[in-house]
Structure formats: C-alpha cells, structure tokens
Amino acid sequence: MDLRNLNILVTGGAGFIGSHLVDELLKENRVVILDDFSSGKRENIAHHEGNPNLRVVTGDVRNRELLEEITRDIDIVYHLAVRCLRESIGSPETTHEVNATGTLALLKASLAHSVRRFIYVSSSEVYGTAHYVPMDEKHPFEPTTVYGASKVAGELYTLAYQKTFGYPSMVVRPFNTYGPRSHFEGVYGEVIPRFVLRILNGKPPIIFGDGTQTRDFTFVADTVRGILLASQCDAMIGQAVNIARGREVSINDLASIIAQQLGRNDLSPIHERKRPGDVMRHYADISKATRLFGFVPDVDIEQGITSYIEWFRAQDYSAGELLDGERVFNW
Ligand SMILES: NC(=O)c1ccc[n+]([C@@H]2O[C@H](COP(=O)([O-])OP(=O)(O)OC[C@H]3O[C@@H](n4cnc5c(N)ncnc54)[C@H](O)[C@@H]3O)[C@@H](O)[C@H]2O)c1
C-alpha cells in the first residue's frame, strides 16, 4: 500500500511517538488526530498549526459516537492512544477501558466504515520478562502489568478482526522508545528524560531495583520508520512484528552513558525499591521486520542519547523547574 494522498487517522497523535508519526505522514497525506490530551501535548503538534491537511479532534477513544463520525472517509488507522504502564498500577480499570475496550470500539467503527487498513501499535510489554533472547514474535505473552495485559487484549482483538471478518489489520510491537518529546513529567516520566533531568541538576540518577534489568532502547525515528514500513507491507496483514534496536542495555549502563555524556561521572546512582511488575529483561529479535520490509535500525544508544540531550538543551525548558515537580516514585 502506497502511503501517499490518503486520509489517515492517528489516535494518540499528540503523544510522544504519535506526534513523530504525524510529522512523517503529513508530508504526503491528510491526517486526523484523535487525542484526549491526557498525556499528549499541544506543543508536540504546534509546528503544524495552520496546516490545512491536519485536523485535531480532542476526544476519547471510548466515545463510540465520536469514533463513528471520525472513521468516515479514512483510509488507514494508526492506533496509538494509550494509558501508560505506570498509570495502570494505580488505575487498572481506566487502563483496561482505554487500551483494550477503546481498541475494540475503534476496530468496530473502522470495519463499519471500510477503513482499508488498521495498524495497532502494541508494546514489548506484552511479553513480560524474557524467557529467551533475542525475543522473537513467538515469545509467550506473560505481561507483568495490567498495562501489558491490556496491550495483549488490544493485539488479540486486532488479529481476531482479521480472522473473523478478513479485516486488513496488523500489530506492530515497539520496544522501549526514547528521543525528543519523550515524557519527563509525573506518572508519564520515562527513565531517560528523568536521568537527564536529575544529572543536569547535579543530582544522582535514581534507579528502581538493582539496575541489572535490561531494555532494548530504540530511538524514536527508528520506531516511527518501522511502523511506517510495516503499515505499507501487504505481507503484514494478520501478523505481528517487533520493532527495536536489537541490542540489550542495562539500566545501570544507561545511567553511566548519560552521566558520561553530561560530564558527571562523579554522580553515582542511588538505588531505590523495585517498581511493581518491572520487567527484568528485554532484547528483541528484529529479523522478521528486516525480512518482511527491510527494517534496519540506524541509531545506537550513545548517538540517540546525544541527540536527545541536544534536543533537550535547545528547548525553552528550565531543568531546575522541571525537577522541582519530580515525584521520585512516579506510579
Ligand atoms: N514509549 C515507548 O517506549 C513505547 C514502547 C512500546 C510501545 N509503545 C506504544 O506506543 C504508543 C504511543 O506511546 P507513547 O509513548 O507515545 O505514549 P504517549 O502517552 O505519549 O501517547 C499516548 C497518547 O494517547 C492519548 N490518549 C490517552 N488516552 C486517550 C483516550 N482515552 N482517548 C484518546 N487519546 C488518548 C494521550 O493523550 C497521548 O497523546 C502506545 O500505544 C504505546 O503502547 C510505546
């Protein structure tokens, strides 16, 4: 499927990954963003203000009437709207309603209006801690959080629509993604922005647990390219695919890479209690993405951290003020 001159709906398009996806899609298409701005930000899409090819709808994926209205005349849906992992610890029902029920409602509306393709952006959290590495798409689902379980439900609904109705849908499973616009605030705060903020303020990074847990950190440009390539690949219909860097980095190593790049190797991390349900090991096998649609990630963790720090410094942010609002245990 050629991604040009189409009408595209991106749910969660004002969020971190969604806004980067919208940046790419708007180059040759018309885009509708559906976002309730619970974690998404106007500033992530402000540079498109006045673009006649972008319509922003403030609304909820649980609103069935709204879904009925906005899926009319849409060619492709990229479904990214989500309540995050840490929110799922305190608000499991809301997480279920948005991530699982919201996905089902959107599938139903998309099928009813003959949307030609449905891309569900899932998460490596569906796997839980690795039983073997690298983790391919056949790795069992053993989510450790309600968030991960709700993403499994979203995946299974998406693929069930393909099996039951022959609906052209697919699942893309990004691993931990970082880069410009990733969240540093409150319950949404991610590990890389949080480490950067603390170190810029001369404070040691705080690691939950012993720091030996690993993630396959993937730069947002690579994640978005993977989503776009997958969505154009006909062989992906009815399939799931990993999108990741394909390298394993421990949280301890991540803290030292960031400290080194900020010239603060003297700041040794503090270790605090583990986050409930924390996955201990993630490392992706990305050979399916390479085989099916030629996906090869570009950005190593060191380069990605450098780009993120450059971006952060170019913003009008005060690191001190941002840290003032920090909640150490942000779940
Ligand atoms: N960031 C990562 O490391 C990562 C890794 C793997 C998968 N993912 C997946 O990528 C997608 C995007 O994640 P992100 O990191 O950009 O998160 P994000 O929080 O920045 O984006 C989610 C967006 O969904 C919106 N939203 C939340 N509830 C909504 C609702 N009820 N109705 C409409 N919009 C709603 C938020 O306002 C936000 O803009 C998610 O589906 C997530 O599961 C993210």
Question: CATH no. for residue 314?
Answer: 3.90.25.10
Q: What is the mean pLDDT of each run of 10 residues along the chain (331 residues)?
A: 96 98 98 97 98 98 98 98 94 97 98 98 98 98 97 98 98 98 88 95 96 98 98 98 98 98 97 95 98 98 98 91 83 88
Question: Left if phi > 0, otherwise alpha if psi is -120 to 50, otherwise beta: which for 233?
Answer: beta
Say whether 147 is catalytic. Answer: yes
Domain count for the chain: 2
177 lines ligand 1 (CB under 6 A): yes
Q: Which amino acid is residue 63, in one-letter code?
A: N
pLDDT recorded at residue 327: 82
203 and 89 share a domain? no
From 56, 82, 172, the mutation candidate for ligand 1 (largest count of ligand atoms within 8 A of CB) is: 82
pLDDT recorded at residue 321: 85
154 and 251 share a domain? no
208 and 99 share a domain? no
pLDDT recorded at residue 324: 75
Give the integer Cα–Cα distance in Å for 184 and 93: 24
What is the position in ligand 1's atom list of the atom closest to the CA of 178? 3
pLDDT recorded at residue 245: 98
Which residue in the list 147, 167, 283, 308 is annotated as catalytic? Answer: 147
Burial class (CB in 10 A: 0-12, 13-18, 19+), 97: middle
Name the residue range of residue 136's domain.
7-177+218-243
- Domain contains 114: yes
For β-strands 249-250 and 214-215, DSSP reports them as antiparallel
- Domain contains 288: no
- Domain contains 105: yes
197 and 128 share a domain? no
77 and 97 share a domain? yes
Beta bridge partners of residue 11, listed in sequence order: 34, 79
270 and 129 share a domain? no
- Domain contains 330: no
pLDDT recorded at residue 189: 86
pLDDT recorded at residue 158: 98
157 and 60 share a domain? yes
pLDDT recorded at residue 328: 85
40 lines ligand 1 (CB under 6 A): yes
**Alpha helix positions (H), the chain:** 16-25, 64-70, 85-90, 92-95, 102-112, 146-165, 191-200, 220-232, 251-261, 287-293, 301-314, 319-324
What is the position in ligand 1's atom list of the atom closest to the CA of 41? 39
Chain length of the chain: 331
